[in-house]
Structure 1
Amino acid sequence: MIAGALPFISRPASQGGFDLTPATEGLVTASLLVGAAGGAIAAGRVADWWGRRRTMLGIAVVFVAGALGCALSPNLTVIIVARVILGLAVGGASTIVPMFIGELAPASRRGQLVSRNELMIITGELVAYICNAVLGAWGDQMHAWRWMLGLAAVPAAALWIGAHFIPESPRWLVSQRRHAEAHEVLRRFRHEDPAPEVHTIEHLVTKTAAAQKNSRQHLHTPWVRRITLIGIGYGAMFQLCGVNAVLYFAPTLLMQTGLGTNAALVGTIGNGVIALASTIVGLRIVAHRDRRAMLRIGGIGIICSHVALGLAFMLPASLSRSYLILALMMVFLAFNETFTSIVFWLMMSEIFPLRVRGVGMGVAIMFQWLSNASVTQMFPVMISHLGGTTFLIFAVLNIGVLAFQLKFLPETRNRSLEQLEKQLANGQSGKEPIETGAGSASEAEVRPDSGTGTGSQGYSESRT
């Protein structure tokens, strides 16, 4: 929603805004992401202590409070604080909601249901763009941004209501030794006797707890420390592609090319449509293509798109240039959502060894949020001072990001977590071909491609 609200918040006080500068535009936008970094880390611990269902109820309350706080803000300071609070809910929801889906879904459908969560996130972005365009065109121009940001309370309230009708996670119930309740929950959602599944969950919970005991000490093992640092670096570098800068500031960019506010808001809907369609395509491709190959295609496409955007901004101002820049934004989003974002959230769940997965993923996702906040803070300032050259800088940065990915990231498709861990422990890079066969019995349990087990659950825990 902030994408459509920014042009109105940036207006002078006489027109209902806070007279934002490029620096304060970035601050208002990035403040949510700083809160999200803390929310993503804290929510997992709270959910382990309090349960998934009650944590979701708490997140919904924080979400409503943050959204209403933004809508009713009397000044810049209050809206920044309110967006940090809102960010706590965003980060928490991005962790807990898909985690709950992964823990409740049957193994045969887990991948499908987790993927639908991804689709709903992108669908939510599209709905936000449409609401912004409608409010921008027909709403009260003095208070349009307040309605835009306040609308976020509606799905939050729906989450709070809906959470009263869902059961607790059977995995959490087993971890609390409430086996009878876990059995009853699974009985409602399974055709077969849930007793064996309860036993399996108990085994996995015990195994995971044992493997992750003293996880910080495992970081002293050279190969564990190396792959953990690679994952953290990957998380920090991911946002350098600039996707969220484009999503957050698309209307502002289009207005700088000469489009009016309403035309820019309507044009941004196209970005949402492309992001949704590209995600659907990417979810189909990722099951059949190697991760590194997808990163290579996506990286090259992103670099070329940034170069094209930078050159397009140098053209003489005209309506044709505005539409060209909008079209190039869509091309950029198509490459990012189809190839890069899909792979990132999958690999976050795949590359960390079990013994440090909780610590590694938590830190990597935190760095992803903080990197997102840094890019978001700097982007409007760079656009204001450098114009289209900003995209050429992004192109150069992404050459380095792609080189890092291809040099350090292992190939994870068609490898069980145990196979990958064995290769890395033996000093291999994880890129070598492996033999597949009967020895990979655990693969169905842990690979996201199979739609089962901890791999897809880890993917669902990470995506925001």
Structure 2
Amino acid sequence: MASQAEAPLLARRDDDDDDDDNDNDFDEAPLDDDPNAPMKDGKARQAGRLSFFVWLLTLSAGISGLLFGYDTGVISATLVSIGTSLSNRELTSLDKSIITSSTSLFALVASPLSSILADRLGRKPVILVADILFIFGAILQAFSVSVPHLVVGRSIVGLAIGAASFVTPLYLAELAPAAHRGMVVTMNVLSITLGQVVAYVIGWAFAEHGNQATGWRLMVGLGAVPAILQCLLLFFMPETPRWLVKAKRSDEARAVIQKTCGSDPFAMQEVDVIFKDIEIEVRDEEDSVSMGNGDGKNRYGWLNGWRELLFVPKNRRALTIACLLQGLQQLCGFNSLMYFSATIFLMLGFTVPTLTSLSVASTNFVFTVVALLLIDRIGRRRILLYSIPFMAVGLLATALGFRASGMLSIAARDTELTQGAAIFILVNIMVYVAAYALGLGNVPWMQSELFPLNVRSLGSGLATATNWLANFIVGLTFLPLMDALTASWTFVLYGIVCVAGWIAVWWIYPETAGLSLEEATGLLEHGWGVR
């Protein structure tokens, strides 16, 4: 039986669908309806092509993702290129660990702080702050003369990455038409993977053909260029209509909605419906806050947001799902490959490990493109349930490959068999990365779909902080786990995390594809929205 919260949503989506007997039939609803079909319940479905305006906004905002990917990817080649350029000595293992982990640590700090700024000042100013930090951090890294100087530069970049990783998906989700929101948010993830590919290519080029003393400075300094470009583009990018309505700037909000709806035949009626839905949500939330405070005034400000997030059941469910997905995205071990893939492939005997690492980053990019095309058709829930098992299989097969490789090495078998084991490991790592890119690589960043407007920034910020906390843990523990448990059991551990994550997704994550943000939050009103 459908839940009480879900029944009206199902009715709004399809008045003729009277034989559904399971909430998961929500997944079966077609997500690519004919945009010229009659409107259902007076509501137009924006299932046609994206307007040119939305494409421009997506590409402009996606520069943040490019910076995110570049600055997290470039450090791998930087660490092997520095030599004695800092403090007149070679970097120690401790130096490398601190330089690498400082970025994740400060990204963790920035995410919840950015949520406060996004609610008070708007989404656009947070993007601007992130760009300024990207520029300052890149310049400081490029002119570093000691390890502490580089750590400070990486920490500033970490603040920028934390802010960008939170606010850009939020900005895009609040601007995108419901039928294409998954694709638009995935475009940002595609930008991240593109930034990583660019970082690997530039790192390889400088490592093989550049000046070791100055090449790494150019690598890290290049991060300032896209940030400067986005600063200029921000003058032409609007604020999101949901924040504008909340800020009592309704005329501006309506104008933005009109631009995002494009020239669809039902565009004007769609604008009215979207605008009315946003106004109703904002008014309901203001009434809720007014009742909670007794005198109609928000006495507690930010603390009231915490109360709403943690003690209102639907918000708490949304936070649980968002943190689950963000934590799973990192605890499955993916970034251990991004940070240490060259080290792994060097252990396996590949002569040019940086190029082998590039194959992993390229696989991530290609299958993110595939996810871009499928995410709104298949749905968020389904694509996770389909892809996570392949991640687990890839990890367990990789573990078997490491075990075979270790056994062969101990037995002093011939080189050809050892190379075969290495190729087997590489292929299965690529299977794992491809499956990750299809699902866990992008779905968690759609977290803002789950939260009502009054706690959307705070909830998304906490979920993003969960991502960076898990990222920090994985980056800090991967090499020690390899030493303590062996490579084989380390990958088995990540496989177990994937299996547990699949069960959790099946149990509590509802389908939100094709729903407006207001409809999606209603799924969690009286339960998990799955059964």
User: Could you say which TM-score interval applies, normalised by the shorter chain?
Assistant: 0.7 to 0.9
The residue type equivalent to 1:380 in the other structure is: L
Q: Which residue of 2 aligns with 1:445?
A: none
Given the alignment, which residue of 408, 421, 426 partners 1:326? 426
Task: Please say which of residues 298-307 and 382-391 is displaced more in the overlay.
Answer: 382-391
Q: Please give the TM-score of this superposition, normalised by the length of structure 1.
A: 0.78
Deviation at 1:19, TM superposition (A): 3.7
Within 1, Cα distance between the matches of 2:357 and 2:524? 43
The residue type equivalent to 2:474 in the other structure is: V
Q: Which residue of 2 aligns with 1:155?
A: 226
Within 2, Cα distance between the matches of 1:211 and 1:283? 37
Within 1, Cα distance between the matches of 2:331 and 2:277? 41
1:403-424 Cα shifts (integer Å, max 9, x gaps)? 4333444455577436522441
Deviation at 1:371, TM superposition (A): 0.8
Deviation at 1:337, TM superposition (A): 1.0
Aligned length: 425
Secondary structure in structure 2 of the residue aligned to 1:142: helix
Deviation at 1:284, TM superposition (A): 3.4
Structure 1, gaps ≥5 residues long = 433-464
1:299-338 Cα shifts (integer Å, max 9, x gaps)? 3222222222223234147554444433322111011111
Given the alignment, which residue of 270, 278, 283 partners 1:206? 283
Q: Which residue of 2 aligns with 1:360?
A: 459
The residue type equivalent to 1:53 in the other structure is: K
Distance 1:47 1:228, change over 3 A: closer
User: Which of 1 and 2 has greater Rg?
Assistant: 2
The residue type equivalent to 1:365 in the other structure is: T
Within 1, Cα distance between the matches of 2:143 and 2:237? 32
Q: Which residue of 2 aligns with 1:9?
A: 79
Task: Please say which of residues 43-52 and 77-86 is displaced more in the overlay.
Answer: 43-52
1:9 and 1:19 in contact (8 A); partners too? no
Q: Which residue of 2 aligns with 1:39?
A: 110
Alignment of structure 1 residues 85-234 onto 2, 5 Å:
85-105=156-176, 110-182=181-253, 191=263, 196=272, 201-210=278-287, 214-218=304-308, 219-220=310-311, 225=316, 228-234=319-325
Deviation at 1:43, TM superposition (A): 2.2
Distance 1:148 1:310, change over 3 A: farther
1:312 and 1:325 in contact (8 A); partners too? yes
Q: Which residue of 2 aligns with 1:300?
A: 389
Deviation at 1:375, TM superposition (A): 0.7
Distance 1:23 1:305, change over 3 A: farther
Question: Cα RMSD (Å) of the superposition?
Answer: 3.5
Distance 1:323 1:154, change over 3 A: farther
Deviation at 1:183, TM superposition (A): 5.4
Secondary structure in structure 2 of the residue aligned to 1:258: coil
Q: Which residue of 1 aligns with 2:472?
A: 373
1:70 and 1:146 in contact (8 A); partners too? yes
Deviation at 1:352, TM superposition (A): 4.8
Given the alignment, which residue of 348, 353, 369 partners 1:280? 369
The residue type equivalent to 2:202 in the other structure is: C
The residue type equivalent to 2:341 in the other structure is: A
Deviation at 1:203, TM superposition (A): 4.2
Within 2, Cα distance between the matches of 1:183 and 1:319? 61
Deviation at 1:274, TM superposition (A): 1.2
Secondary structure in structure 1 of the residue aligned to 2:440: helix
Q: Does 1:266 align with 2:355?
A: yes
Q: Please give the TM-score of this superposition, normalised by the length of structure 2.
A: 0.69
Task: Please say which of residues 287-296 and 29-38 is displaced more in the overlay.
Answer: 287-296
1:57-114 Cα shifts (integer Å, max 9, x gaps)? 3321111111222222222222222212111111212233343344445566555433
Within 2, Cα distance between the matches of 1:398 and 1:227? 21
